[in-house]
Structure 1
Amino acid sequence: MGGSAQDRRALVCVGDLVEDVVVWPDGATRYGTDNPARIHRARGGAAANVAVFASRVGTSARFVGRVGDDPAGAALVRELVEAGVDAKVQRHGRTGTIVVVVDGSGERTMYPDRAAAAQLNDVPDDWFSGARAVHLSAYSLTGPPLSVLRRASVIGHAEGAVLTIDASSVALIDAIGPALFRDLVGALDPTYVFANGVEADAADLRALASESTTVVVKHGVAATEIHGTRSATVPVPPADDVRDTTGAGDAFTAGFLSAVLDGADPVEATEAGHTLARQVLGNPGATLQASGRKRTAAPKRTELSGD
């Protein structure tokens, strides 16, 4: 397994690729009637977002996941390729959708229907192999994708890759159960665990910190915590135009991992994560401002139809 120095994919992201339907209400919601709003359709899915953001800042990235065998899935895969991501996708069923309602402060409420993304299974080993870093989404800790995460972890560790996982959702932690969720994450033996403060508290994720695992806990505009062989807090620079926090956590992860792959320590990587996260806060959905984009050559894509 593995590849030469020239063909090693820097970052492999395993998880969801879905369509986000982002709703910006124009004023307070009135139930039982029409509400004026601006609606934006965008690529979604935490793992896909991380791959795109990393590619935009010059990190070679691959996405591994499943989308529907439908026009929506084809469009999403095409968008990944156009963003410079090496898209390794299975095509089956229908593509997932997340409706994201964003209030005036930028906070979002999500209504996910993961559909095909929740059925990722039987992934070829070479889709994981050759990475310097492997990033996993905790959304895949349930159902068939769990075996995929475990295999990705085994291959990543065998090849000396950095392994990371994002806690993703308090609702997910509640559904799995806090203790089991923490055990599942710990069993993957990640190098870095990313969570927001509510997620970290809900599953006691700081307890995973050790000589081999660093836990990074985000608190929005408040300082980010780092727990591991070295503990630290890193202030978050102020952001002037916060309209939509969708994708900010994924941009943080992409900035953090891109910096780690360039040799940064956890504090420096956290600062890089903050910088990239700021660039999504004024846009609808998980999209970077134009100044944050760096185009890379579009790689080939691989699609597997059916089960």
Structure 2
Amino acid sequence: MTKDTDILCIGSVLWDVIGRSASHMQQGSDVPGRITRLPGGVAMNIAMTLVRFGMSPTLLTAIGQDPEGHELVDSCRQLGMITDHIYRSEDLPTDRYMAVEGANGLIAAIADAHSLEAAGTKILLSLQDGSLGSEKAPFQGLVALDGNLTQQLLQDIALSSTFTLADLRVAPASPGKAERLMPFLAQSRGTLYVNLIEANILCQTEFEGSAAAAQGLLSRGAHRVLVTDGGNPATEADATDLITQTPPEVLVTRVTGAGDTFMAAHIAAEAAGENRDAALNRALLAAATYVSGETPL
């Protein structure tokens, strides 16, 4: 690990614009509710949870030098993240995510991460210039990586010697981007955090539950996986063991960021030395508490 950080969070850091209503919604619904704008993105959500667990995450992402970008970077610093290695583009605007949630869950969402995708390898310069690592001295430590990066960049990371000594933890960001994780299956690199839908997409089949999905991913070449399925049992597995636990029952009041909270809590638990059973239990509890609305946004 580097002197200043416990973990690198690589991926999307943007503004979340979330509309929430207590009503059940469907296409065409027009209902009262609340609209919030908060720092978000997969890498950001993971980093925020890691900070709550006492860790010091370093962000590797692309943020514009527009007013929204300056405000976002300031917010990241105030929340306890290390922002020294963020790529600040003069030409690209700060990314945004917009979602609508009802009492029946996520209705629709659009992720505009075009600036992150356009920045490409520029967000990784500090891992090559000696700031955080170099070709001769690769970064050693935890890395949380999200699938908002381009397919090509994720493939390069899966093959790169830059990450040879890193403990890679990878999430697809959304079912629509799940296939971007295929290089990590092909190379048997990293720990993959996916939900059942994303596991189905990666394996091009329909699994009956998280345990079957975990086994399917391992047979496809995955090194280690964690598969969640909402309020149904979740599974953590590698070639040596398979552990399944059922999350606590809670009233769901929000869903955006739940998977990121689960991943971050699991990483923090293992970083603190907890065993596999305890780490999975802690992650499920953290995610359940999050969706119930009992933790700060």
Q: Which one scores higher on RCO, CA 8 angstroms, separation ≥ 6?
A: 1
CA distance in 2, matches of 1:197, 1:127: 38
1:119 positional shift: 2.1
Q: Does 1:57 align with 2:53?
A: yes
Aligned to 1:253, which of 263, 267, 285?
Answer: 263
The match for 2:104 is: 105
CA distance in 1, matches of 2:131, 2:188: 20
CA distance in 1, matches of 2:111, 2:145: 18
The root-mean-square deviation of aligned C-alpha atoms, in Å, is 2.8
The match for 1:214 is: 224
The match for 1:96 is: 95
Q: Which moved more, 1:71-80 or 1:118-127?
A: 118-127
Q: Does 1:164 align with 2:161?
A: no
The match for 2:241 is: 230
Residues 13-162 of structure 1: matches in 2 within 5 Å? Answer: 13-25=9-21, 27=23, 35-87=31-83, 88-92=85-89, 93-120=92-119, 121-122=121-122, 123-124=124-125, 125=127, 126=130, 128-129=132-133, 130-142=139-151, 145-146=153-154, 149-150=157-158, 154-158=161-165, 161-162=166-167
1:33 positional shift: 9.0
Percent of aligned positions that are identical: 22
Deviations along 1:151-197, one digit per CA (max 9) or x if unpaired, are 8x633323xx3211012222123xxxx5xx45312255433110000
CA distance in 1, matches of 2:75, 2:167: 26
Deviations along 1:50-79, one digit per CA (max 9) or x if unpaired, are 011101110121110001221111111111
Equivalent AA in structure 1 for residue 149 of structure 2: S
Unaligned runs of 5+ in 1: 293-307
TM-score by length of 2: 0.81
Aligned to 1:11, which of 4, 7, 11?
Answer: 7
TM-score by length of 1: 0.79
Residues 194-205 of structure 1: matches in 2 within 5 Å? Answer: 194-204=193-203
CA distance in 1, matches of 2:8, 2:19: 30
Secondary structure at 2:149 match in 1: helix
Q: Which moved more, 1:70-79 or 1:13-22?
A: 70-79
Unaligned runs of 5+ in 2: 134-138, 204-212
